[in-house]
Structure 1
Amino acid sequence: MLAAAGSLVAAFWATFHLRTLILAVVTFLFLADYLKNRRPKNYPPGPRGLPFVGSIFQLDFDKAHLSIQPFVKKYGNIFSLNLGDITSVVITGLPLIKEVFTHMEENILTRPVTLIRKRISNNNGLVFSSGQTWKEQRRFALMTLRNFGLGKKSLEQRMQEEARYLVEAIKVEGGQPFNPHFSINNAVSNIICSVTFGERFEYHDSQFQEMLRLLDEATCLEASLMCQLYNIFPWVMKYLPGSHQTVFRNWGKLKLFVSSVIDNHRKDWNPDEPRDFIDAFLKEMAKYPDKTTTSFNEENLICSTLDLFFAGTETTSTTLRWALLYMALYPEVQEKVQAEIDRVIGQKRQPSLADRESMPYTNAVVHEVQRMGNIIPLNVPREVAKDTDLDGFHLTKGTMLLTNLTALHTDPKEWATPETFNPEHFLENGQFKKRESFLPFSMGKRACLGEQLARSELFIFFTALMQKFTFKPPANEKLSLKFRMGLTLSPVSHNLCAVPRL
């Protein structure tokens, strides 16, 4: 009897101790989270988040750029937002954006590295690297792109040639409904591929089409809720299925694709006659036997090549898809573009970059597509490298900085009809007008390094397509401007009819 009672007391005491231990651990974790994420003195205001996850469930990740806009109304043009253990600050309005990207720029040249991005690229490459790696890789990439045609007639001729291939591929559709997504992707990608890989890929190349599909899927999924949860709870999420696992698999396959191209280059590589970006990088690597003193190593070769492939494919092709969709929805705008093309170029000669000066309306339409398409709505994030004061607030080192381009590109103070597709926003007395409040390529030292290439591609491809086709909605099908949220904002899958112009 006494033994049984003793066992009961021992069991109760053990349970009591276990509950006390659990309670103590939970209390400690909550306290640690509170101390870690409590706002410093004079920090920008913002919504109070939940422990550990912050405001992650206050955002709709299918339209994150829109779900932060009510916070602007509530807290003002600078507010804080906790995303797990990532403290971010969102800046809105042209004066504040200019202040940050001019007077503060030296303090925000760093990229924040989320855990998902660290696993993918680990501070390698061009887009998400920082410090010495970024400086070396950006300088080398700009120099190499120029050496292989950027800003020269030779690259323009490649764009014109690729535009002919694209026109022929679309002509095969015979004016029937088709999805323009991957033919446009392939065409645009071939320009950067000719510089990085030294070759273009046919539109029916199944392996390359699979690479484009993997890139598109990874781009879409990396902004998903599951990927954000991986950034907060990696030790749990790495064992769970979900979109984050697809992202890792896809980038892994893309890296293998680039590695195989690099291996093929090595077989007949001649350091005295570099054919493309990969050859030039291999030559640079050979200068540094001790790879610990430089960023010119195998991993950076793969990541920088992939960054050029991604940035040179995704952003421009997505903008072109928006352009064709807007033309189908705004036939009166399309007619004016075609009238200008017929007047300046005609039907026989191919469009060239020299025509752009004489085609203010077409140029304005391309810019308005970029404004309304808004494909990188919160800009590529920056990180505050040291404690900084901004607009009366104190930003601590490590804060992620997001630029509210969505609000800027729809600011009623800057645009006459902000919610309406209106090329007149970029016209004044019939001439093209630059707008200070138009920042699709960002600004400053970390602005898009492919801006000149992208602007050239957009004009050549868009004008070539408008010259040869009239884009219309399929019969009995209503087109919409619904978008798909990812690393870029792209149109949902849709069909168009490309009716040949006689």
Structure 2
Amino acid sequence: MITGMAGLLLPLLVLALAWWGWGARRAQMGGALPPGPRPLPLLGNLLQLQSGRLDRALLELSRRWGSVFTVRPGPRPAVVLCGYAALRDALVLQADAFSGCGAMAVFERFTRGNGIVFSNGPRWRTLRNFALGALKEFGLGTRTIRSESWRRRLRYDPALLPPRPPSGTPFDPRRLLGNAVSNVICSVVFGKRYGYGDPEFLRLLDLFNDNFRIMSSRWGEIYNIFPYLLDWLPGPHHRIFRNFADLRVFISEQIQRHQQTRQPGEPRDFINCFLDQMDKEQQDPESHFQEETLVMTTHNLFFGDTETTSTTLRYGLLILLKYPEVAAKVQAELDAVVGRARAPRLEDRVRLPYTNAVLHEIQRFISVLPLGLPRALTRDAHLHSHFLPKGTFVIPLLVSAHRDPTQFKDPDCFNPTNFLDDKGEFQSNDAFMPFAPGRRMCLGASLARSEIFLFLTAILQRFCLLPVGNPANIDLTPHCTGLGNVPPAFRLRLVAR
């Protein structure tokens, strides 16, 4: 009897919350939004959107409703931008209007709108300009790594690749790749690297990975729709916030150590730069440079680089296992251009057109953040004959640019010639946007591009990739797809060439 009552009350509670949230949002928005599928009473389009494959469901809806349409995945209406043209016209040609960050409940509860990624208005502009300047001081531009010291660090550092397993032994590359990628951002933010067996470091990586996986699962998807309800229900989503709390403690301890050891005016890393700015503005009551902001900003930099880059690398290895002929062609080009006596360098990219095309195609094919991060309009705008009022919640469906048949040949298939011209030279494409275009472009884009190139070329130069089982049976379907496309777990073998 009690179980039956609970089964009845839970849907009623969901419907009540949906009704309240939907009504409040409609009152706030005022005015019509672009057309879209007819919402069900109270629940909107939630039941029409396949849980776990929201990106595919939105792509399917766009075939009927066009490149700009409205859905209600629960109580809140969202305008979806689908296809290269709509994304370009909004995020690039109207970059200022689409520069706001749309709230995601799972991050909002932790950040409270603080940090670089999830802040808005003057705070966001101030923090972003500061971060861009600080990262450039360390040689990291938004598009290139300019500092020769950073190029040497990435080129020669023996920690570029983690300790390899015994030749031919099957292993899961997740942790090894995560270690290597995270150590690069550690040197930027903390001014230090960690040993690959350091328990503190391993714990940090596991927290980031666990959060990325849960937030990309059905639990993360539903939490962002009904946060107030999910806060009261059991489930793995609660682990996200326990992990966040542990990450906050770790980052706060690093900041305290910097405060005790730093030399003001002589910054060695990003944290020291931020602390120097805090000193300069300590008398300003409206300063955006506070310790809590530093904690959130540090978390943003870590999460944005470590998980997306290591996931891209892991997915890239899985794709190359599936297509050994592509890996063999990359290795042949590396042998001809770089040889095996030295490690690949960033400046080699221009002489490795096929390799460069393969790396771009990996990122296009997997679309590691398929929905991007949501936007919110900072002012009224018009897009493709639709009026969008200030505050509109926008989903920039980045995967739709990567799967746009007007921009790429056979977009649902892995095909490196998407980035090659008729002469076999590398050819860029404006529809390639894994780091999101416009004002909210990922701060670590240049670092991620460099890491993807250097890690994968270093592995392919030294090793043959061997699958565990028949490569024809490898499934490239994401294990989770929500916030991110997470590849299925797999093992491979590395054999020295």
**8 Å contact kept, 2:161–2:180:** no
Q: In the TM superposition, what whole-angstrom CA distance separates every residue of 1:355-384 from its partner, at most 9, and x where no partner exists? A: 111111110110010111110112221101
Cα 1:472–1:291 change in 2 (3 A) is farther
The one-letter code of the counterpart of 1:312 is D
Q: What residue in structure 1 maps to residue 86 of structure 2?
A: 96
Unaligned runs of 5+ in 2: 1-11, 141-145
Q: What residue in structure 2 maps to residue 85 of structure 1?
A: 75
Q: What residue in structure 1 maps to residue 6 of structure 2?
A: none
- Matching of residue 434 in structure 1 with residue 428 in structure 2: yes
The one-letter code of the counterpart of 1:495 is R
Residue from 450, 462, 471 that aligns with 2:456:
462
Q: What residue in structure 1 maps to residue 484 of structure 2?
A: 488
**8 Å contact kept, 2:162–2:176:** no
**CA distance in 1 between partners of 2:369 and 2:73 (Å):** 19
**CA distance in 1 between partners of 2:197 and 2:161 (Å):** 15
- Matching of residue 37 in structure 1 with residue 37 in structure 2: no
Q: What residue in structure 2 maps to residue 211 of structure 1?
A: 204
Give the drift of 1:173.
3.0
**CA distance in 2 between partners of 1:100 and 1:316 (Å):** 26
Unaligned runs of 5+ in 1: 1-22
Give the drift of 1:313.
0.7
Give the drift of 1:85.
3.4
Give me the TM-score of the superposition, normalised by structure 2: 0.90
Give the drift of 1:462.
1.2
Give the drift of 1:225.
4.1
Cα 1:298–1:347 change in 2 (3 A) is same
Q: Secondary structure at the match of 1:165?
A: helix
The farther-off stretch of 30-39 and 109-118 is 30-39
Residue from 241, 257, 269 that aligns with 1:248:
241
Give the drift of 1:299.
0.9
Give the drift of 1:385.
1.9
The farther-off stretch of 44-53 and 369-378 is 44-53
Residue from 112, 118, 129 that aligns with 1:128:
118
**CA distance in 1 between partners of 2:463 and 2:147 (Å):** 28
Q: In the TM superposition, what whole-angstrom CA distance separates every residue of 1:221-268 from its partner, at most 9, and x where no partner exists? A: 224444454445544432322233111111111111101111111121
The one-letter code of the counterpart of 2:179 is N
Q: What residue in structure 2 maps to residue 332 of structure 1?
A: 325
Give me the TM-score of the superposition, normalised by structure 1: 0.89
Cα 1:432–1:50 change in 2 (3 A) is same
- Matching of residue 355 in structure 1 with residue 351 in structure 2: no
Q: Secondary structure at the match of 1:414?
A: coil
**8 Å contact kept, 2:468–2:492:** yes
The farther-off stretch of 76-85 and 43-52 is 43-52
Equivalent residue runs for 1:297-308 within 5 Å: 297-308=290-301
Q: What residue in structure 1 maps to residue 55 of structure 2?
A: 65
Count of residue correspondences:
475
**CA distance in 2 between partners of 1:451 and 1:425 (Å):** 21
Give the drift of 1:340.
0.7
Q: In the TM superposition, what whole-angstrom CA distance separates every residue of 1:454-478 from its partner, at most 9, and x where no partner exists? A: 1111111111111001112114684
Cα 1:369–1:31 change in 2 (3 A) is closer
Q: What residue in structure 2 maps to residue 17 of structure 1?
A: none
The one-letter code of the counterpart of 1:258 is I
**CA distance in 1 between partners of 2:236 and 2:18 (Å):** 28
Q: What residue in structure 2 maps to residue 453 of structure 1?
A: 447
- Matching of residue 421 in structure 1 with residue 410 in structure 2: no
The one-letter code of the counterpart of 1:71 is L
Give the drift of 1:289.
2.0
Residue from 129, 146, 155 that aligns with 1:160:
155
**CA distance in 2 between partners of 1:322 and 1:465 (Å):** 14
Give the drift of 1:451.
1.4
Residue from 476, 493, 496 that aligns with 1:497:
493
**CA distance in 1 between partners of 2:240 and 2:162 (Å):** 34
**CA distance in 2 between partners of 1:493 and 1:137 (Å):** 37
Give the drift of 1:165.
3.1
Give the drift of 1:489.
1.0
Give the drift of 1:101.
2.0
Equivalent residue runs for 1:40-55 within 5 Å: 42-55=32-45
**CA distance in 1 between partners of 2:488 and 2:476 (Å):** 8
Give the drift of 1:121.
0.5
**CA distance in 2 between partners of 1:334 and 1:231 (Å):** 39
Residue from 153, 159, 180 that aligns with 1:187:
180
Bigger radius of gyration: 1
**CA distance in 1 between partners of 2:285 and 2:76 (Å):** 30
Cα 1:134–1:173 change in 2 (3 A) is farther
